[in-house]
Structure 1
Amino acid sequence: MNKLLFSLVISLFLLVACKSSEQAGEASKSVKSNLSDSQKADVSYLFFNANKEKILGNLNIAADLFAEVIRKDGSNAAAMYELSNIYSEQKKFSDALFFSKSAWNIDSKNIWYALSYSDILNKNKKFEESASVLAQLVKDNPDRYDFYYEWAAAYVYAEKFSDAIKVYDKLEEKTGISSDVSMRKARMYQRINKTDKAVDELQKLINSNPADAQSYGMLAELYQSMGEKQKALNTYNKILEVDPENPYIHLSLADFYRSNGEKEKSVIELKKAFQNKDLDIDTKISILVSYFNLIEVHPELKDQAMDMCVILIETHPSDSRAHALYGDFLSRDEKYREALVEYRKAVQLGSREFAVYSQILIIDSQLQEWDAMVKDGAEATSLFPDQPFAYLLSGIALIQKKNFTSAISNLNSGVKMIVDNPELESRFYTSLGEAYHELKDHTRSDENYEKALKLTPKDANLLNNYAYYLSLRGDMLEKAEAMSKLSNELEPNQSSYEDTYGWIMFKMGKYNDAKTWIEKSLESGADKSATVLEHYGDVLYKIGDSVKAMEYWQKAKEAGDGASELLDKKIQDRIFIE
């Protein structure tokens, strides 16, 4: 380090160290010391180093050095002050109290010692003693209005509300009537059940400033808490006269009418608030978000929430959050296409919230719009390269488009990012198992399904899919049977799971059992599934009912996608082909 840089560093330490204790030591300079000049120099050096260590964050070393200062100079109030603050920061409030009291006793006129002593008394829950210290501080500094607030607060902590009011009265004598002091006094009067005094206090404030809408609002709320409904309503209406453009009065009236059971009037006022552009969108969004839980208990509120969303968009058409929130409500109402429009509009308006993109991908999947999902997935992984869920959904879309190699690449990239989320990790391995199965890489397919099973051994869908793929290959049928059986126990009456178990029975040559289970699948809603209809035809053929087998093969053909490539050949040759 060159000499100039070293000098600058030392200068900065000196400046900061001196500043940190300058205020604390201002008044203590007058305290007489019996130390010799060399002892004073030693103490000053120790004090400087203690401050340096404190600035560097080495509090334990600093505390030891300040303690050494005090041992050498028992009247050093500044060191006591600094040591008490360190102990307070370390939550050693009892030790802090001893040293802060010592500093204050040496120099009670020092503002910083008094404030620190008061604060540490509060932390030791000695609130009345704190109030006493602050009373002396106010007496010594009658024009420091901030000290009055500290004094009153100490009484509030001590639940001496009447004494707190007296302090505010003293402050009011100094400053005149003010909104802050009057409202504090009104709240204190409410705490001691002197609501008439609270009313008088607020009325006094209103008389001093008849245009202050906030004062009317607090008075109206007070009347409402007192059960004086008409007075509350009259006061709210007064706000409309005083400040007709104030959007918050409509929120207050909405709350007033709702508490009185006048729901229609409440909704009207709420809509007026939402129609006001001066009411910030964050407030509107927080109100609408509260509807999510309300709708679960009161479904009739859904239409009201939808109306509010429309008003929100009309009032804030260029804010992406308005469209995203409306999309959330539409999605919850299973209006997926309408929700998708709103989410895409949010993106067009600049939304870069991953939640919006994930909702787009989820709805793409629900609507089976795989081309759109591939495109949206690519955009999501580009914008949010550290979000594994985007890679999962992108991979699923690529599997549906039979682009298995790209799907595997995406899934392998995403699975590496997962931390402490076994369910999500399992879904990645499940999808990888499916992709490798389609590529007929059965070794890797099984490896990934086994990884998924270790993470979520009771995932019914995973158990079913793995079992079904094993049955198609005719491999490990006993393992497949056990997994399929468990999936049906975990989630009974699932037609696809019942079909899987039936097909495993078929592969094991247990045709009567196969017939029973595939009939269950048909009864559970799979009577339009080409796969299940074809399976049932195969079973019927094996048990000797070739006529009925033909009937179900034909039904499978008419059902559309899902049947095997051999179905036409079975119908043409009127025999089962494996």
Structure 2
Amino acid sequence: MTFSFHSKSFIYLTLVLMVLMASVNPGQAQRKNRKKEKSVDQISEEKRTELDHYFLEGEKYYILKDYGKAITYFERVIEIDESHATANFKIAQIYSENNEMMDALPFAQKAKELAPENKYYYLLLANIQTSTGELANAEETYSEMINRVPGTERHLFDLAALQIYQQKLDEAIETYNLAEEKLGPMEEIALQKQQVYLKQNKLDEAIEEGHKLIKINPEDESYVMTQARVLISNERLEEAETFLKTQTKENPQNETLFVMLSEVYRKQGKTSEALETLKVPFESTSVDLNAKIRTLAGYLGMLPDDNLNQPLIDLALTLVETHPDSYQALAMTGDLYYNLGQLSNARKFYLQTITIDRSNFNVWQNILNLDMELQDYNSVIEHTNTALEVFPNQASLYYYNGTAHLINKEYEEAIKTFNAGKIYAARDANLNSLFYGQLGDAYNSIGEHNKSDEAYEKALESKPDNDHVLNNYSYFLSLRKKDLEKAKSMSSKLVEDYPTNPTYLDTHAWVLYMMEDYEGAAHYLKEAVKYDASAVIIEHYGDALFQLGKTEEAVAQWKKARDLVEDTSTLDKKIADRQLYE
């Protein structure tokens, strides 16, 4: 009997031995052992009759599962003949079956000592020793049995399992070698030796055992697969390539081998060979879909690459053709196009994905992100409305929807959506702050400044460093010339945290400008121009210079700004009149 030893070995050994013991005919065992019990001949006929009676009564109550009475009768047997091995064995067996291992142990030891040629006594003792954690003693018991009792060589596997559990790996290999010597080449032996060698990081020996397994049972493809994985995972790529080339020729029906060969080529940098090899498994319906997807996913980080782009697209389209009802295949193809920067194609495949399975929220997020990147805000609204039918409690869907309405200047719809969704964002401080920040923008756009300010305040309560809110709130306050000190405090924090952000520098400068701190405004606008020489920032810089009385410099900046805009009427007037118009 063979098995792979692992953390449940105690349980396994117990079950094995219980099955073995259950297979013994008690009467037969008794008759065998009586031949060994010389003391029976030394007692009177009367005592012998009494002993037989007690033993049969013990067997009867054992069969009836009245273990207390059974033990009582077996103990009377031992009182008459203390060298009665079978009675000791039966008492040990009863205690063992009741999981009273410490009580069973001395009787099992005694039975084995009295009848050292009976394998069942060894097996029960080894089982009890294993159960009580006496693994070294159990190992010794197995060794003694195998050496003394003919026909017990199969239990070398149990001995090796104990040795592996105790991390005696060299001893386990010796035991398996002995088993191979006595039993001949066997799959179980080669498989167990391979596993032990891998634990020891003895790769050459493990590979050798792998070849043995394939030779012993060439029909079992799992051994071929395992051997390939061992070679690949240990970066024995040249060996793996040679091995897999041979195997794909001998087993062309095993398309998974082509996937593995492709992986080897990829690791070697032989990209063309890798992708060409993949055509076989990708055209097959029998190869595991997840294996194909994992293989494609391994290339995503390499994209875009002119040598990979089209071959990978071809493979992805083959994947979809081979698995037309698989949302995973469609989603993978969407991922591929996204990594190639082909956003419209990516969105097309993601949209096909949700026609098969609308329950994958990640795919919905991908679709919405692409809608936003493509600036297709009407699609954002359409897709979020559909997604909300499936995920009515997902705050992010309300956020996307409201933001699209806000960008489309559909302010009332935006406000309605943000107010509906904010209850689902309440437990997430960041998301809660985003909702109130957008509400602040929407209310400001329709001139409801009190509601706008209130929303901004709530946004900052949830996330005091929300830079979007700090920027917009301070800017809108400055435009209204309201709470300018508060606006300055917020914009100051922005430029402190983001000293190279031109938008934030411009906002802070504008707050200072409204506070008539023209020197400070000019300073920050000059900094902003370094990072973004846009028409708006340059014009603002000119305005600040004009307020400082630097008219020539102001006109020069206005001329720069004029060159960057289509509608030059206001700037033309400023330049012509050398006058500030606000």
TM-score range, shorter chain: 0.5 to 0.7
Identical positions, percent: 27
Residue type of the alignment partner of 1:459: N
Distance 1:446 1:106 in 2: 87
Q: Distance in 2 between matches of 1:152 and 1:478?
A: 81
- Would you say 1:400 and 2:385 are equivalent positions? no
Residue 527 in 1 paired to residue 563 in 2?
no
1:29 matched to which residue of 2?
65
**2:445: which partner in 1?**
438
Aligned counterpart for 1:313 among listed residues 299, 304, 317: 317
Following superposition, the deviation at residue 311 of structure 1 comes to: 0.7
Match of 1:214 among 195, 203, 222: 222
| RMSD, matched Cα | 5.1
Distance 2:457 2:141 in 1: 71
Gaps (5+ residues) in structure 2? Answer: 1-17, 23-60, 73-92, 110-119
Could you say if the C-alpha distance between residues 308 and 574 of structure 1 is closer, same or farther in structure 2, counting changes exceeding 3 Å? same
**Residue 249 in 1 paired to residue 265 in 2?**
no
Unaligned runs of 5+ in 1: 1-21, 37-74, 82-98
Provide, for residues 459-492 of structure 1, a one-character-per-residue CA deviation record: whole Å limited to 9, x for no partner. Answer: 3333212211211221111121121122122222
Which whole-Å CA distance do the structure 2 matches of 1:528 and 1:153 have between them? 79
Of the structure 1 ranges 464-473 and 23-32, higher mean CA displacement relative to structure 2 is found in 23-32
Rounded to whole Å, the distance in 2 between the matches of 1:242 and 1:480 is: 77
Please state how far the C-alpha of 1:372 moved relative to its aligned partner. Answer: 1.5
Report Cα offsets for 1:307-366 as digits up to 9, x if no partner.
435413322342332332343344455443343233223223434311111122222223
Alignment of 1:51-90 (within 5 A): 77=95, 81=99
Cα displacement (A) at 1:440: 2.5
Larger Rg: 2
Aligned to 1:184: 192
TM-score (norm. length: structure 2): 0.66
Give the C-alpha shift of residue 396 in structure 1.
1.0
Cα offset, 1:177, TM superposition: 6.7
* 1:177/1:205 contact within 8 Å kept: no
Q: Quick one: distance in 1 between partners of 2:232 and 2:541?
A: 70
Q: Distance in 1 between matches of 2:381 and 2:510?
A: 32
Instruction: Report the number of matched residues.
Output: 487
1:3-402 matches, within 5 Å, as 29=65, 31-33=67-69, 77=95, 81=99, 100-102=101-103, 118=130, 121=133, 127-129=135-137, 152-161=160-169, 163-164=171-172, 179=187, 181-189=189-197, 201-219=209-227, 233-257=241-265, 262=270, 264-270=272-278, 272-291=280-299, 295=302, 304=308, 307-308=311-312, 310-317=314-321, 318=324, 319-332=326-339, 334-402=341-409
Please state how far the C-alpha of 1:422 moved relative to its aligned partner: 2.5
Flag the 1:135–1:268 CA change in 2: closer, same or farther, 3 A: farther
Alpha-carbon offset, residue 201 of structure 1: 4.5
Deviates more, 1:533-542 or 1:487-496: 533-542
2: CA distance, partners of 1:28 / 1:189? 49
Distance 1:224 1:500, change over 3 A: closer
1:427 aligns with 434
Between 243-252 and 520-529, the greater mean CA deviation after superposition: 520-529
**SS of residue matched to 2:566:** helix
Structure 2 Cα separation of the partners of residues 153 and 367 of structure 1:
62
Judge conservation of contact 2:248–2:257 (CA < 8 Å) in 1: yes
Q: Which residue is 1:4 aligned to?
A: none
Contact 1:557–1:567 (Cα < 8 Å) also in 2 = no
Q: Judging changes above 3 Å, is the alpha-carbon distance between structure 1 residues 309 and 162 closer, same or farther for their aligned structure 2 residues? A: farther
C-alpha distance after superposition, 1:280-303 (max 9, x if no partner): 2212223344456x54xxx78796
Shift of 1:244: 0.3
- 1:477 corresponds, among 474, 477, 484, to 484
Q: Distance in 2 between matches of 1:391 and 1:424?
A: 11
Map Cα deviations across residues 28-79 of structure 1 (whole Å, 9 max, x no partner). Answer: 936444999xxxxxxxxxxxxxxxxxxxxxxxxxxxxxxxxxxxxxx99589
User: For the residues of structure 1 that align with 2:480 and 2:317, how far apart are their CA atoms?
Assistant: 54
Q: CA deviation at 1:500?
A: 0.9
Alignment TM-score, normalising by the size of structure 1: 0.67
Alpha-carbon distance in structure 1 between the residues aligned to 2:214 and 2:407: 68
Q: Could you say if the C-alpha distance between residues 313 and 229 of structure 1 is closer, same or farther in structure 2, counting changes exceeding 3 Å?
A: closer
Once residues 233 and 369 of structure 2 are traced to their aligned partners in structure 1, the CA distance between those partners, rounded to angstroms, is 47
Greater RCO, CA 8 A, separation 6+: 2
